[in-house]
Amino acid sequence: MQPFKESKHFIRSLVLLIFLNVLVKPLWIFGIDRQVQNITGYAAYGSYFALLNLSIVLNSMLDLGITPFFNRAVAAEHVKGSVLFSQAFSVKLLLSIIYTALVFLVAFISGALTGKLLLLLVIMQVLISFSLLLRSFLSASQQYSKDAWLSITDKLFVILATGFVLLYPGVSGSITINMFVVIQIMGLLLTIGLGIFFLFSKISTIIIAPFKHFDPAILKLSLPFALNIFFMASIGRADGFMLERLGDGGSYEAGIYASGFRLVDAVNMGGYLMASFLLPFISRNWPELSYIKPIVNTCRHILILSSIVVMTFAWFNAASVNQWLYHARDPESADMIRILLLSLLPMGIIHIYGTLLTATGHINVFLRISGFFAFLNIVANLFFIPRFGAHGAAWVAVATQTGFAASVYFASQLKTGMKILLRDVLIYILIASLAYMVLK
């Protein structure tokens, strides 16, 4: 595929991906996940949120960087994708066992071992990992539209199934956290089934004999990606678990924090989706800056400008948003919305320039930066959470993400030569000023 045609194909597929996710995922987050918290309560949902974050932080052991390594290798080197997929699939089967043991060990040591809920969350993370591997194969093979449809399959199923339970509790009983997780597992099984269907003609022999192409050397090659995933998960997720373990309010504090984090997760969806598309596109076309630069700049404009508008609106209207979403006038919950959404801007920059570093082969630079800020984030939370609870964790998150974003941007500029022009900065400031005047 010619670079110009590929760029057009990329843009069309990215628009489809964002369109589908904008239709489905906000409904999942605000119509389903939010309502589950409202029904089960801050404490019960807070326990779920804490264990979910623990399972996500340790998720790097489940993947060991195989998925991003695989994605970049297929896209950049044009190697035989079926062989790499077989290798990755084989390793994931083994890592799933190791991951399960590790999660239960950490939960036992930290006193968070809860049995059935934790097991369900572990199963869910294993299935998520396999679904991401399938999607990575599709995107690396330039099958962007199939990846886009697959990205919403599990959430669409959960919306329909959980929505039925919420609307007709007399039929299936009132929603519980365990039931909610089981429904998510069923949605992931459907997604994996569709992914295998999309790829079956190419990987039928892999599914039947997954260890045929097993090569342990892939673990060494993918290790930097694994460490980077672990560090980034620690920066974004460790605080939720630490709040439940260290905060005076325990699960309730974690639930309050989750009420604000949910909004960050919803808006940040666009950045995550862009990054997943940018990685194979940049890898395939590097170092042709004439093709890469317009795409990177367009994605950056979208993320920064949308972040500015959302952050400004939330700062002045957090109480109203909190009342609308959670039917409560809790000032602490409103503060979580106001504070945590400030992290949207730096997170957008990380998505763009972290992906640029990874796709251009500078993963070790990205790794050193993410490792430093992961360590800084945990140390800061150990100090601030026992003293300030959810407020302390929220401000630590904003500060960590800001420092992380600045470091990633300057490292990317140094390694790739791509930078934000002064003209663009002035435009961002102008939009921020207009947003302030209109939304205040």
Task: Write down the pLDDT at residue 329.
Answer: 63
Task: Write down the pLDDT at residue 72.
Answer: 62
Q: In whole angstroms, what separates CA 95 from the centre of its chain?
A: 20
Task: Write down the pLDDT at residue 216.
Answer: 63
C-beta of residue 400 within 8 angstroms of C-beta of residue 392: no
The CB density around residue 252, as the number of other CB atoms within 10 Å, is: 22
**280-314: b (≥16 Cβ within 10 Å) or e:** bbbbbbbeeeebbeebbeebbebbbbbbbbbbbbb
Task: Write down the pLDDT at residue 23.
Answer: 78
Average pLDDT for runs of 10 along the chain of length 440 = 54 71 78 85 82 82 70 57 68 85 86 80 91 78 74 88 86 84 94 82 50 60 78 84 75 82 82 79 77 85 89 87 74 84 92 89 90 94 89 93 94 86 84 79
User: pTM for this structure?
Assistant: 0.74
- Identify the DSSP state of 248: T
Task: Write down the pLDDT at residue 74.
Answer: 62
Number of H helices, E strands in the chain: 18, 0
Task: Write down the pLDDT at residue 1.
Answer: 46
**Nearest CA to 70 among 203, 196, 226?**
226
- Identify the DSSP state of 29: I
C-beta of residue 52 within 8 angstroms of C-beta of residue 121: yes
Task: Write down the pLDDT at residue 208.
Answer: 45
**Rounded-to-5 percentages of helix, strand, coil across the chain:** 90, 0, 10
Measured CA to CA, the distance from residue 425 to residue 71 in angstroms comes to 32
Alpha helix (H) ranges present in 247-341?
Answer: 251-267, 269-285, 289-326, 331-340
Q: Which helix (H) or strand (E) holds 220?
A: helix 217-246
The CB density around residue 249, as the number of other CB atoms within 10 Å, is: 18
**Residues sharing a CB contact under 8 Å with residue 68, sequence separation 6 or more, in sequence order:** 136, 222, 225, 229, 279, 358
Task: Write down the pLDDT at residue 8.
Answer: 62
At 35, the amino acid letter reads Q
Task: Write down the pLDDT at residue 142.
Answer: 66
